[in-house]
Amino acid sequence: MARVVAVVGASRDRRKFGNKAVRAFLHRGYDVVPINPNAGLIEGMSTYASVLDVPGAIDMATVYL
């Protein structure tokens, strides 16, 4: 089972799917890596500008526009 999921298009706005996905994956026990070059922090986690910037392995990625 994939344990580290990158949420590309993660959002600070809790009404947007990019934020709902972050919270849903966290609730299900995944290690979430939020990807957004302009967000800073999302749900208390530091964001990365690109999946290429993530230091560890990513098992799965989801994309939200």
Q: Are 64 and 19 in contact (CB under 8 A)?
A: no
pLDDT reported for residue 1: 67
Residue type present at position 48: Y
Q: Are 51 and 5 in contact (CB under 8 A)?
A: no
Given a cut of 90, is residue 52 above it in pLDDT?
yes
What CATH class is the domain 4-48?
Answer: alpha beta
List the chain domain ranges.
Answer: 4-48
- What digits encode the pLDDT tens for the residues 2-49? 799 999 999 999 999 999 999 999 999 999 999 999 989 999 999 999
pTM above 0.85, yes or no: yes
User: Other CB atoms closer than 10 Å to residue 47's CB: what's the count?
Assistant: 21
